[in-house]
Structures are given as structure tokens and as C-alpha cells.
Amino acid sequence: MIRIGVIGCGNLGRGVERVISLNEDMELVGIFTRRNPAEVSTLYSHVYSMDRLMDFKDKIDVCILCGGSARDLPEQTPLITEHFNTVDSFDNHAKIPEHFQRVDEVAKASGKVSVISVGWDPGLFSINRLMGEAILPQGRTHTFWGKGVSQGHSDAIRRVDGVKLGVQYTIPKEEVIDRILAGEDVDLSTADKHIRLCYVVAEEGADEESIREAIVTMPNYFADYETRVEFITEEDFKKDHTGMPHGGRVIRLGETSPGTKQAYEFRLSLDSNPDFTASVSLAYARACYRLAKEGRTGAFTVLDIAPKYLSPKSDLDLQRDLL
């Protein structure tokens, strides 16, 4: 059994707890938190204070770090990789090389393996951006996100005066996707390729027009986008908008000779973003464990890991059943 420790009990940590039992070769040792463990409720797992993590040095094979990329992971991943093999989901694209470098030095010094930036973007989408481009060197790669809930944009809505509850869905423009798949060389910005749809429950007596105006003109978040705001009742909000669906597509539209179009597409449609990201993290925790068993050390990204490491099956079974 691969013994997994979960660091942090937000959406991703709770996702790992929900899905780990689907993997017959894994067990969850415990969830570690900086909060008071007595105040953290879980499905079935032991919750420990982060201070106790070192007691588990020989009882955990891989730690999955479920903190945030802004403040937690830049410190946590190097620190914990001094003592454990780690998987994180660092998703601040611009700072990945710097994060990789820092974690790689620690991991090489401590003899551990750390797989960073695991999930679906960065993660599975990155693999497909790379493969699409490598196989079809002449072409254009498009990434679409959604339909799905953006946490950052939902938070931004909820900070607007007069908003009681709010959620934002990022929705790809289907007509743009259709043009790409029909072979057109479309060169559009992310803002031109997506719609932002907001469902808002207004406080009693709040002015809906002012709320709408505050949202659609908000710089960085909404101003550049086609943004729609719909006001709904609290009852409808709780019925229809508390899930965390997401998904998206990577499309590489290449030409192998003039007029010969070759379309490569990867697509996810997820009822639960945290549970799927947790599932990806566990598959890469398996890879992390196996690389460590082989004596490898250092930082890895999903681009550095052969597919077979994700599967519990033997090389021969993979050749026979899946190739």
C-alpha cells in the first residue's frame, strides 16, 4: 500500500479524502492542519496538527500538499520535501520555473521526489499542449476553460456592495470552438473566447443595476470580458449553484500540408473540480512513489513523467490490455 498524507483540509484535501478509496493500492494516513484539529470535521480521517507531521516520517510515503499557490506552497513544498516525497498543485503559471528550481534543490539534497504543479491546468492540459505542438509543429493551440466555476471570480463578486451570494461560471464561446474545429485559424485572446456568467443573490433592498454595473466594469476580473449578470433567489442559488463543476478543452489545429487539417483535442467535463484534481494528484502520487522506489530524486513536473508510472498495472499488463 502507498501511504498518503494530506496537508491542508480545503477543497482539494477533502477531495483526496473522498476519492482515495477508489485506488486499491493506497491508504490515507491522516490529514494535517494548521487549525485546531478538534475543530476540523472530516468524513472518516484522523486529523492531526501540522506540528505532529514529523512523527509520521516513516509512516507516510507521499504527502499531497493541498494549500494555496499564493501563500502556502512556495514555502510548504520545499520545507516538507526536506523530509517527505511530495505532490503539489502549484498553479501560478508565471512562477513555476522558480518554484521548480527551489523544490528541485531541496529534493536532490534530501533524496526525495517532488512532483509539482499537478492537476488539470497546469497538469493534463499542459501534457496535451506539449504533445499537440510536438506532433503538429505547424498550427495553433487553443485552451478553453469551462463551463465551470471560477473561485477567484466568485470571490470578487461577493465583495461587491449589496451582494449576498454570488457565483461565476466561465463559459467557452461555442461558436469560436466551432470555427476552430472547422479548420479556421482563429487568433483571439482568452477574453474573446470566453463569457463570464454571474448568478447573484442581492441583499434585500439593494439596487440590482448598481451591482450589475460594479461587476461588469470591474478591472482585471470582468471589464475585458462579455459578462452577464443574472439575479436569482437565495432558494434557487442553494438548489442549483453550490456544486463545483468545471472542465475545458485543449485544441491543437495543425496543418501537415496546405489544406490538410489535423485536429487534436483533449477535453474534460467534470461534475466536481476538487474531486477530479484530487484524483489526478493521487495518480501522480503513485508516480512519485514509484520514481522514489527507483532511486530517482529531485523535482518533476507532469511533462517529465512517463504515462506508465500513473498506473498500478505492470508493464506487461499495460502492453497487453491498453496499448
Closer of 24 and 51 to its own copies (Cβ): 24
By beta-carbon proximity to its own copies, the closer residue of 225 and 266 is 266
Contact between 175 and its own copies per CB under 8 A: no
Count of residues that interact with its own copies, criterion CB under 8 A: 67
Among 3, 18, 158, 228, binds its own copies (CB under 8 A): 18
Among all chains, which residue has been given the C-alpha cell 513523467? 305
Q: Does 177 bind its own copies (CB under 8 A)?
A: no
Least Cα distance to 69 among 128, 157, 8 occurs for 8
Q: How many CB atoms lie within 10 A of CB 288?
A: 29
**DSSP letter assigned to residue 62:** E
By CB under 8 A, is residue 271 in contact with its own copies?
yes
Q: Is 216 in the site for its own copies (CB under 8 A)?
A: no
Question: Which DSSP helix (H) or strand (E) runs through 88?
Answer: strand 85-88
Grid cell digits, residue 61: 510515503
Footprint of its own copies on 248-267 (CB under 8 A): 254, 256-257, 259-267
CB of 138 to its own copies, least distance (A): 5
Q: Is 259 left (phi over 0), alpha (psi -120 to 50) or beta?
A: left
Per CB under 8 A, does 92 bind its own copies? no
| Contact stretch for its own copies (CB under 8 A) within 127-135, 145-153, 156-164, 228-236 | 127-135
Check residue 294 for interaction with its own copies (CB under 8 A): no
Binding residue for its own copies, selected from 40, 50, 131, 216, defined by CB under 8 A: 131
Q: In this structure, are residues 179 and 220 in contact, taking their beta carbons and an 8 Å threshold?
A: no
Taking the complex as a whole, the smallest distance from the CB of residue 194 to its own copies amounts, in Å, to 20
User: Long-range contacts made by residues 171-177, C-beta under 8 angstroms, separation at least 24?
Assistant: 171/146, 171/147, 171/195, 171/196, 171/197, 172/144, 172/145, 172/146, 172/147, 172/248, 172/249, 177/144, 177/249, 177/251
Query: By CB under 8 A, is residue 135 in contact with its own copies?
Result: yes
Return the sign of the alpha-carbon dihedral for residues 72, 75, 78, 83: negative
Q: Is 269 in the site for its own copies (CB under 8 A)?
A: yes
Distance CA(69)–CA(117), nearest Å, equals 10
- Binding to its own copies, residues 106-125 (CB under 8 A): 117, 122, 124
- List residues near its own copies by CB under 8 A: 18-19, 22-24, 93, 96-97, 100, 117, 122, 124, 126-127, 129-131, 133-138, 181, 247, 254, 256-257, 259-272, 275-276, 278-280, 283, 286, 301-308, 310-312, 315-316, 318-320, 322-323
